[in-house]
């Protein structure tokens, strides 16, 4: 496909994503490409990669492009085109190791100059030609976005994060240099990570199978069950997936079940089970010998777990579409897992639109819901039992502060160290003996952003 036409499609799709406040960007991308049958596999891949590179760098890319057009006294492009031009010409190659020339060249079938293609698209829309050096000028402006020390607005651009998230992280104690490192780590796509989910095959067995199949894979550094797939591969038809020997699950998500460290005979309540990735992992750790009640307020997500169970056939998992907590009256559990609904800010490597869609009012509503869930379900932990609170968030407001307020209200719970749980599985996280909550971060741990706090009922 002509690269100018492809970039025009990217601009159109970016506009659709910008206007949507709820539908995930990957769903919108899939719908967009399915509706345009003339787009081949190479064009679809290029469109997706360019759009997601733009979403990851959106605020800095748009700022850079708008500054250039202001200083050049040229017509301002649309929001989508400004972000696309700033991202592809400057920000994404410099900060996210994105190679637009390679991506466009594969789709076009020939060598392509991204600067020329973007200039041609701009001229097609505005009827005004850009100087041939516009891309070089944009790239020379990049150092102006670097700062030290930075105020929140400057750091937001340098880290490609909303200013309010930068302020949240800094208020929570994160240093400027670490906010920047975190923001830059979030600009890179997350790897495809699997969990070895078989009760009969080890991770090493699965790695050997992948090697025989010509699929490049390696073990994850932290999770003893994790496997990183190092090439673009469709696995849903692979025999290991169809038989339940593997599950797609980020390494950080895998560490949640290890943090619970269930005994094989425990009764466990997974009260926010969702599609059940952690539920299935808990059943595996218990070798299907315990009892797990999996529930979720969203019946549709629980139905996904029911479908997944057909591949695993665990007998220890029982689904319960609970009405609040009334169906659990008089029940007590050895452990309760609350993987609560959250902003999802820890997953923006996979869904970069999240960081531009969430806002402080939404955060307040989510935090209130998290506290309601804790109040609903903490009573179902037996004396001596474990309460594990987890999110896929980076934000202190829905992590440490929620747990701090809960402990202030409930003296019957106390912090319970994480180190013994992880040591039991040989997980080499450097934790001091008194650490009971953990924030996983992509620039430190290579995982999505997950938070866990382990509490025990006195």
CATH of the domain at 297: 3.40.50.150
pTM: 0.94
Number of domains in the chain: 2
Asked if the structure places residue 181 within a domain, the reply is no
List of E strands, 363-410 = 381-391
Q: How far is CA 40 from CA 16, 43, 431, in A?
A: 21, 5, 49
Q: How far is CA 196 from CA 59, 227, 250, 288, in A?
A: 38, 7, 12, 15
Asked if the structure places residue 405 within a domain, the reply is yes
| Nearest Cα to Cα of residue 253 among 427, 392, 434, 441 | 392
- Return per-residue pLDDT of the chain as tens, 458 residues: 899 999 999 999 999 999 998 899 999 999 999 999 999 999 999 999 999 999 999 999 999 999 999 999 999 999 999 999 999 999 999 999 999 999 999 998 889 999 999 999 999 999 999 999 999 999 999 999 998 899 999 999 999 999 999 999 999 999 999 999 999 999 999 999 999 999 999 999 999 999 999 999 999 999 999 999 998 888 989 999 999 999 999 999 999 999 999 999 999 999 999 999 999 999 999 999 999 999 998 888 899 999 999 888 899 999 987 544 455 666 899 999 999 999 999 999 999 999 999 999 999 999 999 999 999 999 999 999 999 999 999 999 999 999 999 999 999 999 999 999 999 999 999 999 999 999 999 999 999 999 999 999 99
Asked if the structure places residue 153 within a domain, the reply is no
Q: Rounded to whole angstroms, how far apart are CA atoms 344 and 348? A: 7
Final residue of a structural domain among 145, 162, 183: 145
Asked if the structure places residue 199 within a domain, the reply is no
Q: How many other C-beta atoms lie within 10 A of the C-beta of residue 173?
A: 9
Q: Give the H/E segment covering residue 415.
A: strand 413-415
Asked if the structure places residue 152 within a domain, the reply is no
| Nearest Cα to Cα of residue 20 among 66, 69, 55, 45 | 55
Asked if the structure places residue 197 within a domain, the reply is no
If asked whether residues 113 and 262 sit together in one domain, one would say no
Final residue of a structural domain among 95, 130, 145: 145
| Residue span of the structural domain in which 341 resides | 252-457
Asked if the structure places residue 225 within a domain, the reply is no
Asked if the structure places residue 395 within a domain, the reply is yes
> Would you name the residues annotated as active-site residues?
392
Final residue of a structural domain among 89, 115, 145: 145
């Amino acid at each position: 496909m002509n690269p100018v036409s492809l970039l025009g499609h990217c601009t159109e799709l970016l506009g659709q994503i910008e206007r949507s406040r709820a539908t995930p960007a990957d769903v919108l991308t899939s719908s967009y490409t399915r509706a345009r049958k003339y787009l081949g596999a190479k064009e679809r891949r290029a469109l997706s990669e360019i759009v997601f590179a733009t979403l990851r760098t959106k605020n800095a890319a748009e700022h850079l492009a708008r500054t250039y057009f202001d200083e050049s006294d040229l017509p301002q492009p649309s929001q989508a085109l400004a972000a696309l031009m700033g991202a592809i010409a400057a920000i994404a190659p410099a900060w996210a190791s994105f190679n637009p020339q390679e991506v466009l060249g594969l789709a076009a079938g020939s060598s392509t100059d991204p600067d020329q293609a973007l200039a041609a698209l701009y001229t097609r829309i505005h009827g005004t030609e850009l100087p041939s050096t516009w891309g070089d000028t944009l790239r020379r402006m990049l150092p102006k976005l670097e700062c030290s020390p930075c105020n929140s607005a400057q750091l937001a651009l340098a880290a490609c994060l909303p200013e309010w998230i930068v302020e949240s992280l800094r208020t929570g104690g994160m240093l400027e240099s670490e906010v920047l490192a975190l923001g830059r780590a979030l600009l890179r796509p997350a790897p495809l990570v699997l969990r070895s989910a078989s009760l009969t095959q080890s991770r090493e067995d699965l790695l050997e199978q992948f090697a025989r199949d010509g699929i490049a894979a390696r073990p994850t550094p932290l999770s003893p069950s994790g496997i990183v797939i190092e090439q673009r591969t469709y696995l849903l038809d692979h025999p290991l997936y169809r038989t339940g020997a593997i599950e797609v699950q980020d390494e950080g998500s895998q560490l949640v079940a290890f943090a619970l460290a269930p005994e094989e005979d425990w009764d466990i309540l997974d009260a926010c089970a969702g599609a059940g990735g952690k539920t299935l992992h808990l059943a595996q750790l218990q070798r299907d010998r315990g009892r797990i009640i999996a529930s979720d307020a969203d019946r549709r997500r629980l139905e996904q777990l029911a479908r997944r169970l057909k591949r695993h056939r665990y007998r220890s998992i029982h689904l319960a579409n609970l009405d609040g907590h009334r169906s659990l009256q008089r029940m007590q559990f050895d452990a309760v897992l609350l993987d609560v609904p959250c902003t999802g800010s820890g997953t923006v490597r996979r869904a970069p639109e999240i960081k531009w869609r969430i806002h402080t009012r939404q955060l307040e509503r989510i935090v209130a819901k998290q506290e309601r869930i804790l109040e609903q379900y903490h009573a179902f932990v037996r004396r001596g039992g474990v309460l594990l609170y987890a999110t896929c968030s980076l934000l202190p407001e829905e992590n440490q502060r929620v747990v701090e307020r809960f402990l202030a209200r409930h003296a019957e719970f106390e912090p319970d160290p994480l180190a013994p749980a992880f040591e039991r599985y040989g997980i080499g996280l450097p934790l001091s003996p008194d650490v009971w909550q953990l924030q996983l971060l992509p620039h430190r741990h290579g995982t999505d952003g997950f938070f866990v706090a382990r509490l025990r009922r006195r």
